[in-house]
Structure 1
């Protein structure tokens, strides 16, 4: 297998590392395909492997007796399994599963922790990422409490687009209702409104984003804070494919 080159990677955390710190991680990074609906981390089970995403999207969900609700999204800006492993635990109550297929660079959790012990500089961008992820989940709670379904859907579409390679979101109405925690008719009505206003086009099994600025206006202050925190805190930014920041 060809040796991974830091400059060729898309994961923004790995690109943010100093070359000598990336070199310490490089031998332990293993490319793995991500299959749709694949569970990367199951709730309340020991986490043995964590994953730097290169392409694709992972949903973090709370699965309860009344169903599944999405509480976080991770793409090429992040590391799946970061919070429990870096904060001294080995498990999480939440499910992490693949929402959009892609590619990840996997590393054994114990190896990552060992590298951080030897090279403390590796820890800083990863801890800063955890801060930005917590900001995202806090803003999800804000959006759920203060926003209507159309606003929440606009925010979700923006976050999905941030982590994908184009303007097409491969998703069904049923899946969106599951992720947003609302009834399917509510999602259908919100999508119709977004299409009527020219923000999206609906197709079977997918949604095409045609007016990002319109979605930003609709999402309002439910979107942009966590993205701005990421840009403020994570070094090595400015690469193509980074998460854009909503205008203030």
Structure 2
């Protein structure tokens, strides 16, 4: 999901594969929700934002946890994962620097049935539960942006449920690769096929076959634990309708995210 193209003058996330400890502190406005805030709102919020590392594999919250902080990623990917009693699991949404983690803080439910796990290492700025509730009570632009993003997240989870039910593994893998690369702002990522199989809720052998077909047709390249996107236009032709359905609807929802809300 893109709130808008990167605002002119703002830095872009690093397009590196494994670098998770940059030598400089990232600008919080690498997160597109924070970047869309009016200057006065951002200035009020900035002292409350705390930079945290998101190492790959970190479980930020378990199912049912009382979430204490909202996280605004500036890089990396966080997966919302639903686990069944038999140990099976499936990814229900991807979040990158376009969004935020911790919607239960302001939606009133206090917790979610899914867990949040870092899929690709990165960084985020966190905001305490108390400060977010204060900001929400003000009814300003952060509230507006957070609610728009929540609707966009609902669109993503709904479409992914349909995709997992009706589309072939190869199409689902293509969709997952494109969505991941969009959030990394890169053409390659470090991840194992076993991990992808857990995210898509299918057997590892099925991912091996699907990835092999995409590589044979020159769309991706695979090395040890790395996927490289070689021919994006062709992969977009191969992917199911779900990728563009989510992308276009989220862009529609967030088209005016940087414009102050009018209640007139």
| Secondary structure, counterpart of 2:57 in structure 1 | coil
CA distance in 1, matches of 2:97, 2:157: 17
Residue 171 (structure 1) aligned with residue 191 (structure 2):
yes
Match of 1:80 in 2: 101
Deviation at 1:73, TM superposition (A): 0.5
Structure 2 counterpart of 1:71, from 63, 72, 92: 92
Shift of 1:21: 1.4
> Which stretch shifts more, 85-94 or 198-207?
85-94
Q: CA RMSD in A?
A: 1.8
Q: Secondary structure at the match of 1:220?
A: coil
For structure 1, the 5+ residue unaligned runs are 238-248
CA contact (8 A) 1:41 1:81 kept: no
List structure 1 runs of 4+ shifted beyond 4 angstroms.
Answer: 2-6
Report matched runs for 1:155-194 at 5 Å: 155-194=175-214
- CA distance, structure 1, for counterparts of residue 61 and residue 207 of structure 2: 28
Whether the aligned pair in 1 keeps the contact of 2:106 and 2:136 (CA below 8 Å) is no
Query: Aligned ranges for residues 98-247 of structure 1 at < 5 Å?
Result: 98-234=118-254, 235=256
Q: Is the Cα–Cα contact under 8 Å of residues 135 and 143 in structure 2 kept in the other structure?
A: no
* TM-score between both structures, scaled by the size of structure 2: 0.84
Q: Which has the higher strand share?
A: 1
Q: Rate the CA distance shift 1:4–1:119 in 2: closer, same or farther, 3 A.
A: farther
Give 1:121 deviation, angstroms: 2.6
1:139-195 per-residue CA deviation (whole Å, 9 max, x = no partner) reads 101111221000000000001100113211211111111111111111000001000
Alignment of 1:25-64 (within 5 A): 25-64=45-84
